[in-house]
Amino acid sequence: MAKSNDPRTEPELPDGYYLDNFNSLLDTVCRLYNDLLTPEELAFYSSFKDLPDDAARLYVRLISRVGPGFRVQRLVYADISDVDQAVQDLLDSKFLASEDRLTPGEMNRLFRKDEIASAFGGLIPDLPRNIRKSELVEHVVGLDLTEVQLLECVTSDSSDVVVSPLHTEVLLVLRLLFFGNAYQNLTEFVLNDLGVMRYFPYQLDKEHRLFPDRASLEEYLALLQCRDQYDLAMESDDRAAVCALARDLAQGHKDSRIATRWYRLNTRLARQLERWQEFELALDLYAVTVAHPARERSARIHYQCGNFVSAGDMCDVISSAPICEAEKDFALRFRPRIQRKLKIPVDAVAPDCFAEQRLSLQHHEGGVEAAMVAHYNSGGTSAFFVENGLINGLFGLAFWQQIFASIPGAFVNPFQIRPLDMNSPEFYQRRRVVVEQRMEELRETGLQELKNVYIELHGYSNAWVNWGLLTKSLLDLAIARIPYEHLEMIWRRILFDPAANRSGLPDLVLFPSAGSYRLLEVKGPGDSLQDNQKRWLRFFQEHSVPAEVAYVDWQ
DNA sequence: CTGTGAATGG
DNA sequence: TTCACACAATCGA
DNA sequence: GATTGTGTGTCTCCATTCACAGCG
Ligand SMILES: [Mn+2]
Ligand SMILES: [Mn+2]
């Protein structure tokens, strides 16, 4: 594939590209997961392959769009000569269903306001002229028609037909098996072919399947269903449904391959239960959730309920084996409050004392950070508003090959911007040897090497590198001014917990004309340091990395 | 008439 | 599949 | 000061079309 740096030359996609993409997905899944598919899913595969070309094209068009229903008269595609024939073929082969009813929501989505007004206006007395569409639909709902009558009435003028694609549950399975997640879809192919996204050519692992058996696939489907149930229940304020789901989830998930995803859902749900004062249920859920902040929330619930001993016990459990630094910090800060309640000696925690400066600046539209950048730039110091972008970018460049190294199970689809285990604690352990080698190499030969990486790999998608922010001139300055030893210490902290430590880095990096560098967190009026920002500042203090906080107010 | 936002296709 | 950050409101020590 | 909830920009792009709402 020829690559061009000229942004004006957009590659042209071949006729029927979207069907090709879908077929490619379909073939890949059937090749890799043939033994996992149900008879129904296999039947989908073979009958899809039997469809006439136009019908297959139309089906793929529709499943890529917002549904579920579509008006046949509105379907116009230049590359499908006879849409009506394609619709008929899809109806005959059970890839489309012709709807005989319409929910108010679907009517609202599929029909224009004037169409609805002319269909039902005669039935609604004193209909205000300037009524909003949603209110008009409410009036129609007030007519108490059946959904069948709704469809009949609203299509009586145009005699249009509403159809919906079938087998959407099979499509979800296919997507899940191909991508390994439920959020990526066919547009990935298009964005890749257009050059909008450029994925690094890592080696796909065909030996290790993400889903070794049907059960692991079913578990993922169950997770998705629980998520949907929760979202649905929250939308309709159905507290009983949320509680029922919580009791279900509180059964726990032993030997789950997707435990961390369950934990995220548990936490989201339990937080909501806390807001509803459903403390016992929340505690049950937190008890089966082995992820931060489950134990922190448990301690807070105990405290709030007056169970100070239980709260203290929970803090002790945390301190004896903290899951992460945030959890460890929490126990330290929270324990004194409990001890005061219990009237026992208090383990006071020393307050932070970071280097700081205070100054007043002219009001600036870009906020305090931009005002500080302008302030320094006018004084001869190069300043960049980078937040996490600089350090993470340097990390991504430094360890590019290690991040994209072929590790069993790390890459399961062609459209990944990070290995699947990037956020797990084992990321470093699995790559320890090569990561240490890389550090030794950089320590010996210097950071200049990163310029080569930058030029060679510029534009490839990497979860750590924001190419728009990390300009060449910023990189050059950073390499020239930041000692390798500082960066290595910082990278080790990132490697220690990549998920948590990729954030909280200071707003600005400063490069004074006289040399050296400095990191600066800017705080405007009413703003204060966040916990993760404090942890980085403590780390910088400990390792003599120049960093300080600037408290700014407006002149 | 204009501005806005969702949807769409590439 | 969001996340990371700032900002605002509220509360208790 | 601590905690909690909310808003904002951004997220992997961009041109085009459509429907709607509010205004004069
Ligand atoms: Mn910031
Ligand atoms: Mn800041």
A191-215 pLDDT, tens digit each? 999 999 999 999 998 889 999 999 9
Residues facing residue A521 across a β-bridge: A549
DSSP category for residue A113: H
Regarding whether A332 and A375 lie in a shared domain, the answer is no
Q: How far apart are CA A209 and CA A468, in angstroms?
A: 35
Full DSSP string of A381-395: -EEEE-TTHHHHHHH
A383-401 pLDDT, tens digit each? 999 999 999 999 999 999 9
A108-154 pLDDT, tens digit each? 999 999 999 999 988 988 888 889 999 999 999 999 999 999 999 99
The arrangement of strands across the sheet holding A96-98 comes to: A70-71, A162-165, A96-98
- What pLDDT does A9 receive? 59
Regarding whether A455 and A317 lie in a shared domain, the answer is no
Instruction: Kindly list the distances between the CA atom of residue A479 and the CA atoms of A56, A148, A225, A447, in Å, as whole numbers in the listed order.
Output: 54, 69, 48, 6
* CB of A340 within 7 Å of some strand C atom: yes
- What pLDDT does A366 receive? 83
- What pLDDT does A127 receive? 83
Q: How far is CA A462 from the centre of its chain?
A: 15
A172-192 pLDDT, tens digit each? 999 999 999 999 999 999 999
Q: What is the mean pLDDT of residues A439-468?
A: 97
Regarding whether A24 and A173 lie in a shared domain, the answer is yes
Report, in ranges, which bases of strand B sit under 7 Å from a protein C-beta.
6-10
Q: Is residue A195 part of a domain?
A: no
Answer yes or no: are the C-beta atoms of A451 and A479 closer than 8 Å.
Answer: yes
Please say if the pLDDT value at position A363 is more than 60: yes
- What pLDDT does A1 receive? 37
Model's pTM, two decimal places? 0.94
Regarding whether A465 and A369 lie in a shared domain, the answer is yes
Selection from A522, A442, A434, A520 nearest residue A479 by Cα = A442
CATH of residue A281's domain is 1.25.40
Regarding whether A116 and A218 lie in a shared domain, the answer is no
- Average pLDDT of chain A? 95
Regarding whether A234 and A163 lie in a shared domain, the answer is no
Q: Is residue A58 part of a domain?
A: yes
Q: Is residue A189 part of a domain?
A: no
Classify the phi-psi angles of A471: left when phi > 0, otherwise alpha if psi is within -120 to 50, otherwise beta. Answer: beta
The parent domain of residue A65 ranges over: 9-179
Selection from A528, A517, A541 nearest residue A376 by Cα = A517
- What pLDDT does A4 receive? 38
Please say if the pLDDT value at position A10 is more than 80: no
User: Distance, CA A384 to ligand 2 centroid (Å)?
Assistant: 13
As a rounded value in angstroms, the CA-to-C1' distance for A49 and D9 is 44
- What pLDDT does A215 receive? 96
Encoded tokens for A433 = 């040897």
Regarding whether A449 and A337 lie in a shared domain, the answer is no
Number of neighbouring beta carbons within 10 Å of residue A364: 16
Regarding whether A321 and A362 lie in a shared domain, the answer is no
Residues facing strand D, Cβ within 7 A = A 112-114, 130, 132-134, 187, 191, 194, 196-197, 271, 274-275, 300, 333-334, 337, 417, 461, 466, 468, 528
Encoded tokens for A365 = 């539209």
Encoded tokens for A113 = 């306001």
Which of residues A342, A372, A399 is at a domain's end?
Answer: A342
Q: How far apart are CA A501 and CA A533, in angstroms?
A: 10
Maximal C-alpha separation, chain A? 84
Regarding whether A250 and A221 lie in a shared domain, the answer is yes
Q: Is residue A348 part of a domain?
A: no
List strand residue ranges (DSSP E) for A220-285, in order.
Answer: none
* CB of A527 within 7 Å of some strand C atom: yes
Phi, psi of A544 (to 5 degrees): 55, 35
Which of residues A307, A342, A377 is at a domain's end?
Answer: A342
Regarding whether A393 and A319 lie in a shared domain, the answer is no
Q: How many separate domains does chain A show?
A: 3
* CB of A65 within 7 Å of some strand B atom: yes
Answer yes or no: are the C-beta atoms of A153 and A81 closer than 8 Å.
Answer: no
Encoded tokens for A232 = 């649905």
Share of chain A above pLDDT 70, in %: 98
Q: What is the mean pLDDT of residues A269-296?
A: 97
Regarding whether A172 and A275 lie in a shared domain, the answer is no
Classify the phi-psi angles of A19: left when phi > 0, otherwise alpha if psi is within -120 to 50, otherwise beta. Answer: alpha
Nucleotide nearest to A196 (CA to C1'): D13
